[in-house]
A and B are shown apart, each in its own frame.
Chain A
Amino acid sequence: MDKFKQKTEKKKVLLMGRSGAGKSSMRSIIFSNYVAKDVRRLPTTIGVESSTFKFLGNLMLNIWDCGGQGAYVESYLHDSAERTKVFSGVGVLIYVFDVESREFDTEDRNARDLVTYSAIVKALAENSPQARVFALVHKMDLVQTDFREQVLKDKSSAIRQRSGTFQRTIRTYGTSIWDQTLYKAWGMIVHSLIPNLDVIEGILSDLVGITEAEEIILFERTTFLTVTSVKSEIGERNPYEDRFERLSNIIKTFKSSISTFTGSSTSSHQFGELYIKTTRFNLIVAMLTTNTYALIVLPPGEVELQCTRLNLFIARDQFVQLAGFSDESRKSQ
């Protein structure tokens, strides 16, 4: 198993965009179990707020939430010491646009949000040319449903045009803290950062084979973002393609409901096992390792269900041997 052992990878994640765009809101929801209505009165960020989040034990996300007020942006860009500090060693830049901003007019060459954005990606290209860039067109809930697709298309293409050397690789998503789109975008971002994915998927595929499961999805424990998933032939036919972000949203919402219920404000609102039995499927959501939950979908029937629970225990051992999932990571948390 030694070949799987590897050092923890630390990735620097820059979160940038104009003041009020929603950067701290989404960070709090994804990483600190806030729900959308909790973030209405978040204070503006002073300077850079940096935090570290251990994702799966072998991936450390070092998140730099960069306050978006003019003076700060000015110094990120033009104070040369600051510029190097902020933009060097970056793994990912997540740039958040406020879809409602008056300075984000796609027709206008001089629209301020786009001008600032292109200065930022230029600084990034100089200091961290290998970085990945994700642009989020945020607060899509404020756009009437019928117009959302077109608005996203227009904004995305304007952003892409201003992305300089990242023009080809940049990915854009429409997001809102009020629905599952936020989980979709962040799921994609995080997925692109996880080392060892093929090994994890190998173990899950074996488990699908043994248990006759239709689908197994692996979630990170705190964020409930999808790490990865494996399907059987039947599972492939599931018509609900948005189910991963939907599930993240569903379970995150439920976790916040647990915290309302118990009145505790700690960030861990866990549950042991969730089990559902219906005429069409059986489903288990259970802790797989100290930092993951597995969701397993099975054909209906009592026997299958009990077998799978056993197999889940066996798979647990395999995961524990993987560097990123071992209990050591818990101790250091």
Chain B
Amino acid sequence: MSSESEESQSGVEVRKAPSTLRSDNPSVANSALGNYMTIESDENLLVASASSEASSTASQSNGIIHTEHSEHKPRLLLMGLKRSGKSSISNVVFHKMAPHETLFLEATTQIKKDSMRSFMDFQVWDLPGQIDYLDQSFDADSIFGGVGAMIWVLDAQDNYMEAIVRLTETIVHLQQSFPEIKYSVFIHKTDSLAEDYREDIIRDITQRVSDDLFDAGLENPPVSFYPTSIYDYGIFEAFSKVIQSLIPQLPVFEALLNTITASCRFEKVYLFDVLSKIYIASDTSAAELATYGLCSDYIDVIVDLSEVYGWERGRKDDGSKRAKDISKQSAESFISNVKGYSLYLREINTYLALVGISKEARFEPEKALVDYNVQALQKTLKKVLRRG
């Protein structure tokens, strides 16, 4: 997903996103498009990083199309009390802000809208905690109409009673007018809970929210709970699940990925959105958070190396078959011998890459087979994506 900040109707400040991964170098952040590696011209582009300037110009130049389009973008809302961590989450996940840099964030005063371009377009709205959205005079339709998912960010290290009251009030209220919304509660800042009672707090919050909703007459409210922290992979895992709940083709993707795990003897396969490192689908086997973490960090390595070495050399196109073959291939990578495992990555299209982890320490003997199967999958996926 390339992310771009949009001015909201009310004119919110636009943060210049440090969109390069782990880079503080401004010259790098403004890398020209030429630094991405292109495959099959533009159709198939493993975007190393979106230049914040380039993408904001792009959104201005086709402004009309953009607004029209945004009507159809599934919208995600980040809500919660002041300082619960909403802006931190949105900056860490979508703008590659380093977690400790969120200490400098100021209170949000107006809705901040980000649009995420990926195989599907999403909008993520970061709502200020200081506004009472249940106020009668408030134009609820403009915010909640067309929302796909609402994420309530709950600071678990704080006294969370007030947050729970506000959360249930909000859900009960919204349920009446906007029954389509799916709710997720991020039990947030788990990093600062002592390990001894972390589980207890998570259970306590989950229980209280469920009880309160039940008491308010909502018997099976569509609410999921996720423990999260911007200091580990938890926030990406949780966001991935929320995004997945908005993807109609999810079952198809999962079935396809299950086939791949079986045929290529992978332990686990993810379909990643390369830029955000949110995974939009995986095979349905159970996996530890650390497996996601390893695959996600592997993408970082590839994206970073691609940025450092993907600059335009200005090589002459000699029109040879060889040059043509090279320009058509999808980017691919593997790492062998990672403590008895190996990792495999293959670019699927502009936004997506498949990452698999295998229990074979040496990857090469299997590579031809895996390439073959993954190419077949790539074709099918492209068809599904086009139809969707």
A positions within 8 Å CB-CB of B: 37, 141, 144-145, 178-181, 214, 234, 237-240, 242-243, 246-247, 249-251, 253-254, 257-258, 260-264, 269-281, 283, 297, 299-301
Contacts and interface: CB of A to CB of B under 8 A. Distances in A.
B321 interface: no
Interface stretch (B7-15, B174-182, B257-265, B332-340): B332-340
B300 A250 contact: yes
Contacts of A283: 305, 309
Given A239-B311, A280-B309, A257 B335 contact: no
Given A261-B294, A273-B336, A279-B326, A254 B23 contact: no
Given A250-B305, A254-B301, A272 B311 contact: no
B297 A144 contact: no
B17 interface: no
Given A179-B24, A242-B25, A300-B326, A276 B298 contact: no
Given A254-B298, A257-B293, A270-B337, A240 B311 contact: yes
Contacts of B39: 278-279
A210 B312 CA distance: 23
B338 to A, nearest CB: 5
B361 interface: yes
A179 B28 CA distance: 14
A280 B331 CA distance: 10
Interface of B: 22-25, 27-28, 37-39, 46, 98, 100-101, 104, 231, 290-291, 293-294, 297-298, 300-302, 304-313, 315, 322, 326-327, 329, 331-339, 342, 361-362
A263 B290 contact: yes
A237 to B, nearest CB: 8
11 contacts: A180-B22, A240-B307, A242-B25, A250-B304, A253-B22, A262-B339, A269-B339, A272-B342, A272-B361, A276-B332, A277-B329
Nearest to B35: A239
Contacts of B293: 257, 260-261
Nearest to B46: A278
A240 B308 contact: yes
B337 A273 contact: yes
Given A277-B332, A280-B309, A281-B309, A144 B104 contact: yes
A278 B336 contact: no
Given A179-B22, A246-B304, A258-B294, A272 B313 contact: no
Nearest to A273: B336
B293 to A, nearest CB: 6
Given A250-B300, A262-B339, A272-B337, A279 B100 contact: no
B322 A279 contact: no
* 7 smallest beta-carbon distances between A and B, as pairs: A272-B337, A257-B297, A272-B336, A261-B294, A276-B333, A278-B37, A278-B331
A258 B339 contact: yes
Contacts of B326: 279, 300-301
Contacts of A277: 329, 331-333
A180 B22 CA distance: 8
Contact of A301 (B310, B322, B337): B322
Name which of B37, B291, B304, B309 has the most chain A CB atoms within 10 A of its CB.
B309
B338 A281 contact: no
B189 to A, nearest CB: 14
Given A239-B311, A257-B294, A271 B24 contact: no
Contacts of A234: 313
Nearest to B28: A240
Given A141-B100, A271-B338, A253 B300 contact: yes
Contacts of B312: 280
A243 B311 CA distance: 13
Contacts of A297: 309
A276 B28 contact: no
A189 B28 CA distance: 25
B308 A247 contact: yes
Nearest to A176: B24
Nearest to A250: B304
Given A277-B329, A299-B315, 14 more contacts: A141-B100, A179-B22, A214-B309, A239-B311, A242-B25, A243-B308, A253-B22, A254-B298, A261-B291, A261-B338, A272-B342, A273-B336, A277-B333, A278-B310
B144 to A, nearest CB: 36
